[in-house]
């Protein structure tokens, strides 16, 4: 029977002290021969590297292992952090640069591992990605980069074709070269320039994006639905019913698509939000004390609507006062949670308490950031903004200028007729994709059921017949644009 001992031993240019700091021990057999290195992860799992051949095996739950070495450094304790592709590379970078350095378990798990520890990584002002210089490393870099704002990302390029990672520089005594590579790191930028007929032809033959449905037919006819890569702005004065409309849109997206949905409702607690969705499904205002539905029935209706446990992601924080943090939550929901549509109600809660000038700057910052981010990450954002008496977006006029689609809501809250008092008139004032603007229909809110019903006159449609208000997309007469087959 073999007996093993475990020691901190220097290996491949890495010192005994560095192995000791990271807790990486060498397994030694009864004959005194080193046989393996054990890299212990923060969750107690191990990635074990055999020394007689380049081979790895693991012990424990690797799916939740996160980054090796993360537990050796407190969040944000340094200005910068380095993320390498392998444990030996992390040790090498730390030994040479004396900076926080950690590693993913492998190139193929890089995105998964960084998602586990995203909050810790994001606590650093600068994030250096030092993955291998091969194709797998480049793919891992591109995938991980989407998790973070590009302004904090730097790329360590291993330019020597004979040195694919940090440890190869260290074991060959090229410490100064490795330091120079780090100092020469440039901000990470995705590929931004395309050229050539072949590339143009490939882009032109890409399948046209199919719109996801609004709850109302005329909006779908005028916009061709909700597309990823676009920002939709819904504006109205206070008390018009923007939140109920957002609930209705969210319910339709959950009902009519299989996409992941993110919900950031800054003036609404999660319980009330979930009750609203279930109430639309049950055609009843289940949050009211006199509701006839039990909690179990409400939960069952919600599960029937959502269908998958990891599909709807509700922001669990009442209010937020930082547009930078808000944009980071959008990025997290899109990249780490796979949300294709994210709803925000409402944007002004992100600047509550700010001075007039600070509010304008914060709203401008968010508006520019969200418009770029939806195109970078290919998701759709639906954002609510208040307007003043003149119909201008409150705090910043840039909000309305930067979006792709703007839908304005109007309602006479003082009208003596209860039906008219609950009727909302929709107008599209901006529509980059289809160019169709103007009156976009009327919807009537039923305060007993909490449901909206669309009221359309035949002449208001683009060649479509009057219908029952079902949320299907219909192409106008002679339209050349495709619409989603699953929505027709």
> Are the C-beta atoms of 104 and 66 separated by less than 8 Å?
no
Res. 382: pLDDT tops 80: yes
Query: For the residues of 394-426, what is the DSSP string, one character each?
Result: SS-THHHHH-SEEEEEE--TT-SSHHHHTEEEE
- CA torsion, ordered 314, 320, 322, 325, to nearest 10 deg: -20
Helices 175-183 & 87-97 angle (0-180, nearest 10): 90
| Domains identified in the chain and CATH numbers | 5-187 (3.40.1360.10), 217-487 (3.40.50.300)
> For residue 386, what is the enclosing H or E element?
strand 380-386
Distances 12 to 16, 18, 191, 346, 352 between C-alpha atoms, Å: 11, 12, 35, 55, 55
CA of residue 117 relative to chain centroid, distance: 15
The angle formed by the CA atoms of residues 134, 139 and 145, to the nearest 5 degrees, is 125
Contacts of 294 (CB under 8 A, 6+ apart): none
Res. 395: pLDDT tops 70: no
Choose between 466 and 460: higher pLDDT.
460
pLDDT band at 201 (very low <50, low <70, confident <90, very high): confident
pLDDT of residue 275: 96
Query: For the residues of 191-258, what is the DSSP string, one character each?
Result: -----SHHHHHHHHTSPPPPPBPPSSHHHHHHH-SB-TT-EEEEEE-TTS-HHHHHHHHHHHHHHH--
Would you give the DSSP letter of residue 79? Answer: S
Choose between 132 and 390: higher pLDDT.
132
Res. 79: pLDDT tops 60: yes
> Are the C-beta atoms of 123 and 102 separated by less than 8 Å?
no
Choose between 432 and 481: higher pLDDT.
432
Alpha helix (H) residue ranges in 283-394: 295-306, 323-335, 356-377
Helix/strand/coil percent split, the chain, to 5: 35, 20, 40
Share of the chain above pLDDT 90, in %: 65
Most confident of 26-30, 311-315, 345-349: 311-315
Tens-place pLDDT, residues 240-283? 889 999 999 999 999 999 999 999 998 888 999 999 999 999 99
**Sign of the C-alpha dihedral computed for residues 396, 397, 403 and 409 taken in this order:** positive
pLDDT of residue 90: 96
Place of tokens 């090229």: 174
Res. 321: pLDDT tops 80: no
Res. 30: pLDDT tops 50: yes
Beta bridge partners of 453: 444
Would the pTM count as exceeding 0.95? no
75 phi and psi, to 5 degrees?
Answer: -60, 130
């Amino acid at each position: 029977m073999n007996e093993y001992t475990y020691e901190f031993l220097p290996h491949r240019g890495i010192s005994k002290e560095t192995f000791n700091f990271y807790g990486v021990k060498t397994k030694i057999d009864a004959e005194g021969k080193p046989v393996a290195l054990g890299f212990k992860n923060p969750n107690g799992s191990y990635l074990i590297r055999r020394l007689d051949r380049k081979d790895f095996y693991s012990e424990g739950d690797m799916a939740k292992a996160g980054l090796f070495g993360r537990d050796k450094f407190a969040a944000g304790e340094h200005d910068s952090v380095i993320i390498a592709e392998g444990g030996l590379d992390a040790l090498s970078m730390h030994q040479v640069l004396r900076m926080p350095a950690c590693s993913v378990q492998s190139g193929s798990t890089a995105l998964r591992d960084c998602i586990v520890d995203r909050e810790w990584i994001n606590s650093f002002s600068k994030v250096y990605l030092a993955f291998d210089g091969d194709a797998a490393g480049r793919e891992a870099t591109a995938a991980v980069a989407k998790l973070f704002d590009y302004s904090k990302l730097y790329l360590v390029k291993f330019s020597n074709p004979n040195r694919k990672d940090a440890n190869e520089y260290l074991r060959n005594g090229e410490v100064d070269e490795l330091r120079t590579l780090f100092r020469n790191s440039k901000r990470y930028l995705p590929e931004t320039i395309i050229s050539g007929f072949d590339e143009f032809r490939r882009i032109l033959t890409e399948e046209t994006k199919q719109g996801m449905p609004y709850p109302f037919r005329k909006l779908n006819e005028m916009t061709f639905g909700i597309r990823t890569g676009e920002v939709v702005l819904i504006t109205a004065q206070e008390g018009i019913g923007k939140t109920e409309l957002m609930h209705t849109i969210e319910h339709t997206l959950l009902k009519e698509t299989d996409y992941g949905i993110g919900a950031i409702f800054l003036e609404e607690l999660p319980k009330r939000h979930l009750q609203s969705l279930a109430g639309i499904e049950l055609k009843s205002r289940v949050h009211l004390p006199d509701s006839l539905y039990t909690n179990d029935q409400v939960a069952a209706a919600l599960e029937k609507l959502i269908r998958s446990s990891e599909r709807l992601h509700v922001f669990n924080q009442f209010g937020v006062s930082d547009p930078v943090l808000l944009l980071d939550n959008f990025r997290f929901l899109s990249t780490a949670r796979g949300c294709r549509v994210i709803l925000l109600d409402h944007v002004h809660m992100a600047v509550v308490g700010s001075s007039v000038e600070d509010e304008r700057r914060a709203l401008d910052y968010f508006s520019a950031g969200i418009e770029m981010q939806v195109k970078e990450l290919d998701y759709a954002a639906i954002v609510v903004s208040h307007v003043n008496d003149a119909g201008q977006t409150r705090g910043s006029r840039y909000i309305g200028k930067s979006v792709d689609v703007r839908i304005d809501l109007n309602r006479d809250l003082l009208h003596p007729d209860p039906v008219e008092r609950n009727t909302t008139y929709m107008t599209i004032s901006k529509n980059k994709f289809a160019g169709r603007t103007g009156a976009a229909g009327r919807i009537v809110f039923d305060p007993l059921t909490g449901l909206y019903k669309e009221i359309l006159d035949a002449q208001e449609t683009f060649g479509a017949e009057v219908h029952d208000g079902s949320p299907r997309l219909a192409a106008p007469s002679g339209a050349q644009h495709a619409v989603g087959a699953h929505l027709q």
